[in-house]
A and B are shown apart, each in its own frame.
Chain A
């Protein structure tokens, strides 16, 4: 669940302000974690992957109203700290292009940043058990499932009547003027989001798996921070 396509002025002010505060906190932590690394060498990669995420998000798969995100790809290639910054850059540019509201940018960055961090963590956690394709695909499926639950949490926390939200594939659209009898509960919203979202996760998982396995074959140095750890662990085991 990449981000909410909620127009400005719908969510309670306290919620989106809290979203911005948490986003700035997470960005502060990310920048702090990057302070000892050679940041300048990573800027081209950060720019290329943020741009790739932007392009991917602008390609709509119309029948299921889904667009791919490449957020797990970003997490795997950039790592959690730099990946979170890519999530911020992507959401800032998307918001300026009218793809989602400006005020929900904080919450959207948190959702996308969570995908980046969880995707990276799961890919790394699964690395010794599965081939690269399945490792990336499984990490993507699990990540998108978890972030969809996070989205349901935001809906529940918003105190906005869940009937005003309607799922369209992986997107959530807010509506106004719905009659009271049409309103649905948080649990109903969750079941719609999880069931419809599944098709989108499947596509995203297949694409992420293919992209990462292609990169592992053609340009493995892009995965070096992950593969290096794997190699080091194998060497460590052989030494023992």
Chain B
């Protein structure tokens, strides 16, 4: 389970090189890694890029073991579908590293940047409703995951799962999803109301111009290294 409080703590408390880099530089880093994943035809090259990301994460004081573990969450989907592929090891491996490498870059961004800075950057380029929608989705996702864990425990404790009774299980799960949805809307509305009371009016207080810093060389160089690896290692 992803703990949003822990991610917020990592993002706000670190002082390594990656933390000191500006959010725009880290967005450029993310775009470079995504481009590398898009262009990659060789799983070894992209895997080398993934290792570079982990080395940089470790060297700059990010929680690299957790970043690595969470990035493999994306591999679950890739693994499931790669099993059904007729192609050999090459294509399956490529499928998986194409999933985990951008995921690792996203995680490096969110554990090194407080979320208001990321969303303030997005709100300067996206329409207000989309930027705010992305922000609320991000916050509600973690609330929902937490509620789902509680729901699964509660339904087991109260005998909601009956082995062999597909109808009963399906009905309970459907009602559970509906209840979670209703509660998520309520929690999300409350969160939004609190934000409005505290002065939120559609844009983040952190909003400002795009300013580069001295520490920006690290994310940009890392992104360029991953892209160069993919382009040169055919």
Is A210 a contact partner of B175 (Cβ separation < 8 A)?
Answer: yes
Residues of A within 8 A of B143 (CB): 51
Count B-side interface residues using an 8 Å CB cutoff.
66
In the bound complex, how far is the Cα of B118 from the Cα of A96, in angstroms? 15
Please give, as numbers and ranges, the residues of chain A lying within 8 Å of B182 by CB-CB distance. Answer: 214-215, 218-219, 222
Q: A45-B188, A48-B136, A173-B85 are in contact. Are A98 and B78 (CB under 8 A)?
A: yes
Would A46 and B88 count as touching, CB distance under 8 A? Answer: no
Interface 9-residue window, one of A83-91, A152-160, A230-238: A83-91
Taking a contact as CB atoms under 8 Å apart, the answer to whether B103 and A97 are in contact is yes
Interface of B is mostly: helix
List residues of chain A with CB within 8 A of the CB of B133.
Answer: 43, 46-47, 50, 85-86, 89
Q: Is B221's CB within 8 Å of the partner chain A? A: no
Nearest chain A CB to B125's CB is how many angstroms away? 13
Say whether A101 faces chain B, with CB atoms less than 8 Å apart. yes
Q: Which residue of B lies closest to A173 (CB)?
A: B81
A167 to B94, CA, bound (A): 19
**How far apart are the CA atoms of A93 and B106 in the complex, in Å?**
10
Given A48-B136, A89-B130, A97-B74, 20 more contacts at CB 8 Å? A8-B98, A9-B39, A27-B130, A34-B129, A42-B129, A48-B181, A51-B143, A51-B144, A52-B177, A55-B144, A65-B80, A85-B130, A93-B138, A97-B106, A98-B102, A99-B77, A175-B91, A177-B90, A211-B177, A215-B178
Residues of B within 8 A of A (CB): 34, 37-41, 73-78, 80-81, 84-88, 90-91, 94-95, 98-100, 102-103, 106, 127-130, 132-141, 143-145, 148, 170-171, 173-175, 177-182, 184-185, 187-189, 191-192, 202
